[in-house]
Amino acid sequence: MKKVTVLLDDDTAKQARTRAAEHNMSLSRFIGEALRNELRASDDYEALYRAWRKRKPFPLQGSPEPHPNREELYDRPIFRRR
């Protein structure tokens, strides 16, 4: 375990003490666990991102269809002026 000094503004320190008490923890343990959870979530995200990047592209199924042109899209009664 390493000891570190953390500077908090009064409002943040008060909220952190309250939250730590709600979880029946010391402020030090609460801050340590909050930081650990944040770092773990970041690591999990990075691992998922790297796994996604390793995936190979896959061919789309079916024959490609052309996109509709502007007139086809907007030639509907709801878009016509009265």
Q: Check whether 58 has a pLDDT greater than 90.
A: no
Query: What's CA 44's distance to the chain center, in Å?
Result: 11
CB 16 within 8 A of CB 31: yes
Confidence label for 1 from pLDDT (cuts 50, 70 and 90): confident
pTM: 0.56
- How do residues 60-82 score in pLDDT, each as one tens digit? 888 888 888 888 888 777 777 66
Q: Check whether 59 has a pLDDT greater than 90.
A: no
Domains of the chain as residue ranges with CATH? 1-58 (1.10.1220)
Say which residue, 29 or 59, is predicted with more confidence.
29
- How do residues 8-36 score in pLDDT, each as one tens digit? 999 999 999 999 999 999 999 999 999 99
Sign of the Cα pseudo-torsion (57, 62, 68, 73, in order) = negative
